[in-house]
Amino acid sequence: MRLLVTAGNTQVPIDAVRCVTNIFTGRTGARLALHGHAEGHDVVLLTSHPETVTDQGPRWRVEPYRTFDDLARLMERFVTSEPLDAIIHCAAVSDYLSAGVYAPADGTTFDPASATWQATAGPPAMIDRSTADKVKSDEPELWLRMTRAPKLIDRIRRDWGWGGVLVKFKLEVNRDDATLLAIAEKSRTQSGANLMVANTLEEADRWAFIGPVETGYAKVARADLPARLFAEIRRCHEREACHG
């Protein structure tokens, strides 16, 4: 099979030197890409941490990215131009993008107790401090405006018209198994993914759920995740080929 794997975190730039990101390192995606290559598949790995892998020779390609926009461009390019059989979208993509940096105008203050803005004269006002260079550090406080980012995985089928085997990942915090699986299955169907890998932050190093499989969702030890996931991808791919 020809595989595309995304791994790592995305940065949302605030200015030329600052960004918002998350804690994820791309190790899981890298492990899956290496496992797929070891099984004989052609692999393209899009990762924010290319240093986590070494060149594997033929059938192996790594494309680094840094920002949300970088990843979006790479995904669109490969999904729309490469003959891919499966996509494993493991990257921890930003949910929000920076939409400006603001400082309160003179006389404008924020009251945390009431969560309201106040002004000594006229309506409360903000001053745009956004810049392509470096936001100055001389303001008493700054406010970062964040707006919802598009879900890149939702674009794979809806916008880019791709029809292969799609694997989505879902991580939650402080969820019991039943709640995690309900959230995961709803998310899977919304994106049109064939398979979902779901876990919690607290147990991420120990296990993950994969599904839907014959019995619903299977709880798999972390060490067994690559082999089990690729077994399910092969089943989906064979089923799609038969129906095609």
Could you list the mean pLDDT of each consecutive 10-residue stretch along the chain, which spans 244 residues?
97 94 92 97 97 93 96 98 97 95 95 95 94 92 96 96 97 96 96 96 94 91 96 90 44
Question: What CA–CA distances, in Å, run from 182 to 127, 198, 208, 216?
Answer: 43, 10, 14, 11
Beta-carbon contacts of residue 243 (< 8 Å; ≥ 6 apart) = none
Give pLDDT, residue 242: 44
**Residues 236, 93, 6, CA angle at the centre, nearest 5°?**
45
Domains of the chain: 2-95+150-243 (3.40.50.10300), 97-147 (no CATH)
Give pLDDT, residue 241: 53
Give pLDDT, residue 244: 38
SS3 at position 34? helix
Q: Which of 6, 25, 169 is nearest to 79 (CA)?
A: 6
Give pLDDT, residue 214: 82
**Residues 193, 28, 91, CA angle at the centre, nearest 5°?**
50
Q: 71 and 46 in contact (C-beta within 8 Å)?
A: yes
